[in-house]
Structure 1
Amino acid sequence: MANATLLAQETSSAQKLDQLKKAINQQKTTIKQVNKQREELEKQLQKSDLAISQVVKAIAKTKQQLAETQQKLTTLEKQQTELLKKKNQQELLLAKQLRAAYSSGNHDYIKLLLNQESPAKVQRSITYYQYLNTARIEEIEQFKTTIDKLHQVKIEQMDQIQKLEQLQQAQSKQQKEFSQEKNQREQTIAKLSKQLLNDQQTLEKLEQEEANLKAALARIAKLSQQEESLKGLSRLKRKLSWPVNGKIRRSFGSSKQGYLKWKGVLLSAPTGRQVTTIHNGTVLFSDWLKGYGLVTVVDHGEGYMSLYGHNQALLKSVGDRVETGEPIALVGQSGGQEQSGLYFEIRHNGQAVNPKLWCR
């Protein structure tokens, strides 16, 4: 009887162990599927962020071209007004000259000679007529030049009006593309939000993103060529301006998740606001980075770098030299952020330092 009971207990334990193994395997499979889905969604997020960046830059360029075209049209309208005024003045002058010539009598030089007046008087009359004729010819040539210029202005006006229409059509198309990409991004964010992560998974995700950032900065630091003209930031403590005006939403050193701390600051700012570099330097990185979205990294020399993340669009490319206060990006919420803002770091020899020690 005891043996039967022991056997039953062993069988039950084996069944429970088997069920537990199956549950663990099922959980591993589920986690694997969720991670795969999340990776696909993050790839889609990257694609949407980059597409939005391109459209935003195209819209900005079109807007600038529209302003330039409008200015050109305004200039042409002023030229047209001046030329029409000049044309009217020349018409009046020519008409006056013709009336004066008509009222002075017959201009037939042969008849003048046959009148048998004194040679001196004849010579004076001929000289006078030649003078009037020369003046009329000059006025006619000026009139023709004015007419030609007016014609050219009208042609250029038509070209600019056509260009304006094309730019307006392009802008409309770009706005439509922007709306589509924005909707796609919002859908992706919504899907990512549905995949709720527990504290451990969130910590692991943030650890991986931080490791990716550190590795990326280490790679670009090796590639950077120190320029003698870049003197670093060591002498500029509390002298630099923040890259964007906004309230600090997350402070350097505050808790991020678990033992992880913020290595920079998160500044609240509206989408589209210009992000400016804190000091002159060279752009070392300008691309999308998981967890940080569209990122620009500027080398300031002497081991100092500044990082600007979660941008909507990047305005500079790798290798570009930038000056203090120069626009380098537009504020956004790339990288999966639900609110717009700028993530900003300062690093020295790879180690994050408190931006508040440099910016005022």
Structure 2
Amino acid sequence: MRSFIHSHFLNKQLLQIVITSLIMLSLLYTYPVKAAKNNDNENAQQLHRAKLSDVQKAIAEQESNIFDTNKQRSSLEQQLKNDDLAIAKVTKAINKIELDLRNTQQEINKLAAEKTQLTIAKQKQETLLAQQLRSAYTTGQHDYLKLLLNQDQSEKIQRTISYYQYLNQARIKEIDKFKVIIEQLSNVTIEHQNQIEHLNQLKVEQLQQDAEFRASKNQRKTTLQQLSNQLLSSQQQLNKLKAEENNLNQALNKLAAILQAEIDLTGLSKLKRKLSWPVKGNILHSFGTNKQGYLKWKGVLIGAPLSRQVQTIHNGTVIFSDWLKGYGLLTVIDHGSGYMSLYAHNQTLLKSVGDRVETGEPIALVGQSGGLDQSGLYFEIRHRGKVLNPKLWCK
């Protein structure tokens, strides 16, 4: 019995030791597992923080790229404006030179005809004077002297003297005419030569301006290529066009606010389907058709060759003549009673703010300023800020 109790006690102690050992082993095993899990969580958090940092860096880099792109695009758009203005300046100079060339050539032709007429008149005077000299020589001065010495025929002498005086006066008059013709011929010849030299100088200037025009045009082509390389999304393109349209509306609203109506401008209300189009060409985009997204064309885009004259549809006053983003070189004319006409994307502007223009008068030359990809004219008609369909006004 005592051995049994002793054995049972030993077994119990052994069991407790085993249990304690197992607990200790369990604790020893559990701690590394928890430690490993904590390490894994820490590593995962570090990984997430690293990924978050990478994302934030990517966002910052993308924002920086967008900023740089917008800045670069703004710079290119400013360069496009400078290119358009340079082309406008050269084109205006070329247009003036061509006008001077035509006027100078007309003056040369006029002087040449006048020179021919004076040469013919000179030849006639020379022939007449030669005849008079031959007649005087044939008559001889001895007859005149003989008559003076002959005292018997006083009446005949008096008539003969009067005759000789008449001949001398006529001869002197023809000589004076001859002198005038010679002087006029000399002046016309000098002026004719001056005009020819002026014409040659204009031709040299024209060649220089043509070279400058080609250089400006190549620069504009490079700028447009750089702009086209910066592809815009549909939403970006829509925002760009919307901003340009708002820019135009703000400019027109400011003009309308400061505009003082003129009594002699009666507007366009009675001229429906009676006005001529500002330029001959094909309509590429019609009023009211889709432009981009929900935006519509507020006017018409007329395709026409470069440098073709743009004419005002009706008399009025120029109230805007400058470069405007999205519209290039732009002219706006007030026709009175709240009516305005707008002419955009010109190559050069021929009128300045405040100029009065008459119906059909040239106001600009067709171009593609403002980034237009082909030459043409953008044309609008507005009444008190509201856009009107040009097809209802132009025949």
> What TM-score bracket applies, with the shorter chain setting the length?
over 0.9
After superposition, residues 150-189 of structure 1 pair within 5 angstroms as 150-189=185-224
Match status 1:320 vs 2:394: no
Structure 2 residue aligned with 1:284, among 308, 312, 319?
319
Secondary structure of 1:196's match?
coil
In 1, distance between residues paired with 2:291 and 2:148?
A: 110
The superposition leaves residues 218-253 of structure 1 with CA deviations (integer Å, 9 ceiling, x where unpaired) of 111112111232232333333322222222212222
The superposition leaves residues 50-80 of structure 1 with CA deviations (integer Å, 9 ceiling, x where unpaired) of 1111211111111111111111111111111
Secondary structure of 2:348's match?
strand
Q: Which amino acid aligns with 2:114?
A: Q
In 2, distance between residues paired with 1:239 and 1:306?
A: 15
In 1, distance between residues paired with 2:247 and 2:232?
A: 20
Match status 1:342 vs 2:377: yes
Shift of the 327–113 alpha-carbon distance from structure 1 to 2, 3 Å rule, reads closer
Q: Which amino acid aligns with 2:298?
A: K
Match status 1:301 vs 2:371: no
Unaligned runs of 5+ in 1: none
Residue in structure 1 matched with residue 231 of structure 2 by the alignment: 196
Residue in structure 2 matched with residue 236 of structure 1 by the alignment: 271
| Aligned-residue offset at 1:341 | 0.8
Match status 1:132 vs 2:136: no
| Aligned-residue offset at 1:110 | 4.8
Q: Which amino acid aligns with 1:74?
A: N
Residue in structure 2 matched with residue 275 of structure 1 by the alignment: 310
Residue in structure 1 matched with residue 141 of structure 2 by the alignment: 106
In 2, distance between residues paired with 1:127 and 1:300?
A: 75
Structure 2 residue aligned with 1:37, among 69, 72, 77?
72
Secondary structure of 1:344's match?
strand
Unaligned runs of 5+ in 2: 1-35
Structure 1 residue aligned with 2:252, among 187, 211, 217?
217
Q: Which amino acid aligns with 2:280?
A: N
Q: TM-score, normalised by structure 2?
A: 0.87
Secondary structure of 1:92's match?
helix
Residue in structure 1 matched with residue 122 of structure 2 by the alignment: 87
Farther-moved stretch of structure 1 (104-113 vs 347-356): 104-113
Residue in structure 2 matched with residue 355 of structure 1 by the alignment: 390
Match status 1:14 vs 2:49: yes
Secondary structure of 2:141's match?
coil
In 2, distance between residues paired with 1:132 and 1:305?
A: 75
Q: CA RMSD in A?
A: 1.7
Larger Rg: 2
Residue in structure 2 matched with residue 72 of structure 1 by the alignment: 107
In 1, distance between residues paired with 2:222 and 2:96?
A: 28
Determine what percentage of the aligned residue pairs are the same residue: 59
Structure 1 or 2: more helix by fraction: 2
Shift of the 231–140 alpha-carbon distance from structure 1 to 2, 3 Å rule, reads closer
The superposition leaves residues 72-109 of structure 1 with CA deviations (integer Å, 9 ceiling, x where unpaired) of 11111111111111111111111111111121133475
Shift of the 133–254 alpha-carbon distance from structure 1 to 2, 3 Å rule, reads same
Structure 2 residue aligned with 1:57, among 92, 100, 119?
92
| Aligned-residue offset at 1:111 | 4.6
Residue in structure 1 matched with residue 12 of structure 2 by the alignment: none
In 1, distance between residues paired with 2:215 and 2:376?
A: 22
Shift of the 4–357 alpha-carbon distance from structure 1 to 2, 3 Å rule, reads farther
Shift of the 111–344 alpha-carbon distance from structure 1 to 2, 3 Å rule, reads same
| Aligned-residue offset at 1:329 | 1.2
Secondary structure of 2:275's match?
coil
Secondary structure of 2:372's match?
coil
In 1, distance between residues paired with 2:303 and 2:250?
A: 27
In 1, distance between residues paired with 2:45 and 2:388?
A: 60
| Aligned-residue offset at 1:323 | 2.2
| Aligned-residue offset at 1:181 | 1.0
Q: Which amino acid aligns with 1:336?
A: G
Structure 2 residue aligned with 1:148, among 183, 189, 202?
183
In 2, distance between residues paired with 1:305 and 1:40?
A: 32
